[in-house]
A and B are shown apart, each in its own frame.
Chain A
Amino acid sequence: MNTKKFLTFFLALALTLSLAACGSKSDDKTDSGDQAMTAEELDAKIQDLAQQENAVIEENLDLWQKLFTAMDAVRDQIAQETNYGAYLLSGIELVKDQFTDDEIKQLTEGAEKIRDLEDEIQPLQEQYAALQPADSGTDSSDNQSFPAFEGTDLDGNAVDSSIFSQNAVTVVNFWFSGCAPCVAELGDLNALNETLKEQGGAVIGVNTDTLDGDADQISEAKGLLESKGASYQNIYFSSDSEAGQFTASIMAFPTTYVVDRNGNIVGEALLGGINSEENMAALQTLIDQALASDSAN
C-alpha cells in the first residue's frame, strides 16, 4: 500500500512539474557590466538582443519587406557597413523617395534601434568568440552549415551542395509522399518559389522516400508535385551521405530549413506546414534575414 501511495504522490508531483515546465521562463537579465559572464550567459544575452532586433522588424513586417525589396534593386550602391543598422540607414537614404515621410520616419527609427542593438551585440560576440575553444565546430545554430551532398533532381539532373551558392537564399523543404500536411503545402511552396525567384532565392524539396533513387517513389513524388502544380526543384541523395544522415534525424514532417548563399543554415528549423500564417511569418523573417545579410556582404 505504501508503494501505491508513493506512486500516487510521485505521479501527482510529476504532473504538476510537467505543467509548471510549460510556463514561460522568467528572463532574469544579467547586468551587462558584469565581467565574468559565462559563454551560456553571453549567448543568451546575444540571443535576447537579436530577438529584440527581430521584434523591431516583425512589428511592421509589411513596411520592412517593402524596404528590403526596394533596397534589393539598389544593392550595389549601398555603403558597405559592418553594422546592419547603419547599413539599413544608408539603404533607407537611397530609396526614401519611394516611401512617405511617415514611413521613412518609422523605418529610420527602427534602423537606429537596430544600430544601437548591433553596437551592443558586437562586443558581446567578441567576448563570446574569445570564450570558445578555437578549433571546435561550434554547435551554436547561427553558423551550422547544411550537410554536404551529391545528388540528383527528380528529372535526373546532377546537383550538389554548390547549389546554394546560386541563390541568396534557399528554402529546403523536407517531406514524404504519405504525409498529408506535407502534400498540402506543396502549392504554397511553389508560390513561395515564384516570389523568391524575383528576390534571388529558390525553394528546393527533398522527398525522403526518394532517397537512394527508388524509381517507384520518384514517380509517385513527381505525380504528387504535378497534381499540386509544384514545379520547383526536388532533389535526392544517397541515404548514407552526410545529408542523408541529417535527413534521417528529422523527426517531424514537414520540416523546412532556410540556407544562405554560403550553405549555412539560418536560424532554427521550422516544423509544420508553411500554409499557416504563423509559420509563414516565421519563415519570411528567416528569408529576409538571409537576403539582408547577403546584400550586406
Chain B
Amino acid sequence: MLLARWRGLVQACAALLTNIHLPNFFKGTLYRGAGKTVCVPGLNCYSCPGAAGACPIGAFQAVVGSSKFSFSYYITGILILLGVLLGRFICGFLCPFGWFQELLHKIPTKKLSTKRLKPLTYLKYVILVVMVFLLPALVVNEAGMGDPFFCKYLCPQGVLEGAIPLSLANTGIRAALGKLFSWKLCILVTVIVLSVVFYRPFCKWLCPLGAFYALFNRVSLLSMHVDGGKCVSCGKCARTCPMDVDVTKSPNHSECIRCGKCVSACPTQAVSFRYAFGSGALCSKLPLNPTTDERKGE
C-alpha cells in the first residue's frame, strides 16, 4: 500500500498544514482569523502559535461549558463526518500529537509491549465522557459557565504546542505560568517518556478524540479488508500491529489507527485498505513488495 509507505511524510505535512502560521512562533502571538472557526481533524491546540484551526476537543468543551449552550452540535457534526469518512485513519496519518509520539518511539531503546495493559484502553472513553462532556457541562459557576476540564487539567498537547512556545516568546504569558502549568508539564514529560518505550501511549489510553473516532471505525467508509481466501493465518499481521489488533479477527477494531503496517507485513497481500460503503467493491490493493517468495518460508 503506497499510502502506508509515505505515512511519515503525510504526518509531517499534516502537522505542518495544521500549524501553518510559522512566523507566530517567533512573535509569540496566535492566528485568530476565520480558520479558527473550523476545527482541524487531529488533536492540535488552538493556542499553538502556528495553529490554522481550532482543536475539536477544545472547541467542544468551550461550547459545552459556555452558559448559552449545553451541547455542541456543530463540532459533533464535524467529528461524526470525519469519523464516517476516515475513522481512526486520522490518528494514524493526520494527528500531530500522534506523529510526535511516533517520532519519540523511534528513539532506539528497549521497547515494551502494551498488550497486557489492554484494560487501560477503555480509560479514554471515560475521559471523553467525563472530562470533555459531563464536567464542563455540569460543574458550572453562578453564570452557568464550566471549565474546559480536559484542556485545563490533562491535555499534554496544550503544554507542548501552546504553553511552551508562547511562554518562550511572550513575557506576559511566561509571568502567568503557575501550578497548572507545572502539573501539565509533568503529564507531558510522562507521556514523552512513556512514548519512547511504548507505542503511542496517549492515543491508546488517554486521547478523547481517538476515543470518539474509535466509535466510528466500524462504520467508517475507510476500512481494512482481509481476503479469507488469501490469508494463510501466519499471524504476522497481529505480531506487527503496534496497536495490539489482530486484523484477521477484527479488521475494523476500535484500536486500529489504519497505519497499514499489517498490509505491508502480510506475505500474501490478503490485507488491504478499502474505501467504500458496506462491502463495496472499491478495493485498493496496490502491491508493496512482491512477496510470493516469502510465502514459502512461512
Q: Is the interface of A mostly helix, strand, loop or mixed?
A: helix
Instruction: Choose from A269, A276, A282 the contact partner of B178 (Cβ within 8 Å).
Output: A276
Instruction: Choose from B62, B145, B170 the contact partner of A183 (Cβ within 8 Å).
Output: B145
What separation, in Å, do the CA atoms of A184 and B144 have in the docked complex? 11
Q: Does residue A192 face the partner (Cβ distance < 8 Å to B)? A: no
Q: Given A8-B103, A18-B164, A21-B168, does the pair A183, B29 have CB atoms closer than 8 Å?
A: no
Name 24 A/B residue pairs within 8 A (Cβ), A-sorted: A5-B106, A8-B107, A11-B100, A11-B104, A15-B192, A22-B164, A22-B168, A178-B145, A180-B145, A180-B147, A224-B143, A228-B142, A249-B29, A251-B170, A252-B173, A268-B172, A269-B172, A270-B175, A271-B173, A272-B176, A272-B178, A276-B178, A278-B178, A282-B175
* Chain B, 127-148, CB within 8 A of any chain A CB: 141-143, 145-147
* Chain A, 1-34, CB within 8 A of any chain B CB: 4-5, 7-8, 11-12, 15, 18, 21-22
B176 touches A271 (CB 8 A): yes
What is B's interface to A at a CB cutoff of 8 Å?
8, 29-30, 32, 62, 65-67, 100, 103-104, 106-107, 141-143, 145-147, 164, 168, 170-173, 175-176, 178, 192
What separation, in Å, do the CA atoms of A184 and B142 have in the docked complex? 9
Q: List chain B residues, Cβ under 8 A from A4.
A: 8, 106
Q: Does residue A125 face the partner (Cβ distance < 8 Å to B)? A: no
B176 touches A11 (CB 8 A): no
A183 touches B8 (CB 8 A): no
What separation, in Å, do the CA atoms of A115 and B142 have in the docked complex? 49
* Chain A, 263-296, CB within 8 A of any chain B CB: 268-272, 276, 278, 282
* Chain A, 54-111, CB within 8 A of any chain B CB: none
B8's closest neighbor in chain A, by CB? A4
User: How far in angstroms is the closest Cβ of chain B from A248?
Assistant: 8
Known: A15-B192, A183-B143, A252-B176. 16 other contacts (CB 8 A): A4-B8, A8-B106, A22-B168, A178-B66, A180-B141, A183-B145, A184-B141, A224-B143, A228-B142, A228-B143, A251-B32, A268-B171, A270-B172, A270-B175, A271-B172, A276-B178
Q: List chain A residues, Cβ under 8 A from B32.
A: 251
What separation, in Å, do the CA atoms of A95 and B177 have in the docked complex? 39
What separation, in Å, do the CA atoms of A160 and B32 have in the docked complex? 28
User: How far in angstroms is the closest Cβ of chain B from A121?
Assistant: 21
What separation, in Å, do the CA atoms of A224 and B62 have in the docked complex? 18
What separation, in Å, do the CA atoms of A195 and B145 have in the docked complex? 28
What separation, in Å, do the CA atoms of A283 and B127 have in the docked complex? 37
Interface centre among B8, B147, B175, B176 (most CB of A within 10 A): B176
Q: Given A12-B107, A251-B29, A271-B173, does the pair A227, B142 have CB atoms closer than 8 Å?
A: yes
A251's closest neighbor in chain B, by CB? B30
A271 touches B175 (CB 8 A): yes
B176's closest neighbor in chain A, by CB? A271
Q: List chain A residues, Cβ under 8 A from B171.
A: 268
User: How far in angstroms is the closest Cβ of chain A from B163?
Assistant: 10
Q: List chain A residues, Cβ under 8 A from B67.
A: 178
Q: List chain B residues, Cβ under 8 A from A251.
A: 29-30, 32, 170, 173
A252 touches B145 (CB 8 A): no
B142's closest neighbor in chain A, by CB? A227
Q: List chain B residues, Cβ under 8 A from A269.
A: 172
What separation, in Å, do the CA atoms of A180 and B67 have in the docked complex? 9
What separation, in Å, do the CA atoms of A5 and B8 have in the docked complex? 12
Contact with B along A170-204 (1 / 0, CB 8 A): 00000000101001100000000000000000000
Q: List chain A residues, Cβ under 8 A from B146.
A: 180
Q: List chain B residues, Cβ under 8 A from A268.
A: 171-172, 175
Q: List chain A residues, Cβ under 8 A from B142.
A: 227-228
What separation, in Å, do the CA atoms of A216 and B164 have in the docked complex? 37
Q: Given A8-B107, A11-B103, A276-B178, does the pair A227, B173 have CB atoms closer than 8 Å?
A: no
Q: List chain A residues, Cβ under 8 A from B103.
A: 7-8, 11
What separation, in Å, do the CA atoms of A249 and B170 have in the docked complex? 13
What separation, in Å, do the CA atoms of A103 and B39 have in the docked complex? 59
What separation, in Å, do the CA atoms of A228 and B143 have in the docked complex? 9
Q: List chain B residues, Cβ under 8 A from A8.
A: 103, 106-107
What separation, in Å, do the CA atoms of A7 and B106 have in the docked complex? 9
Q: List chain B residues, Cβ under 8 A from A271.
A: 172-173, 175-176
Q: List chain B residues, Cβ under 8 A from A282.
A: 175
Q: List chain B residues, Cβ under 8 A from A278.
A: 178
Q: Given A12-B107, A268-B171, does the pair A180, B164 have CB atoms closer than 8 Å?
A: no
User: How far in angstroms is the closest Cβ of chain B from A148?
Assistant: 22
Q: List chain A residues, Cβ under 8 A from B173.
A: 251-252, 271
B168 touches A18 (CB 8 A): yes
What separation, in Å, do the CA atoms of A184 and B140 have in the docked complex? 11
Q: List chain B residues, Cβ under 8 A from A22.
A: 164, 168
What separation, in Å, do the CA atoms of A178 and B62 have in the docked complex? 9
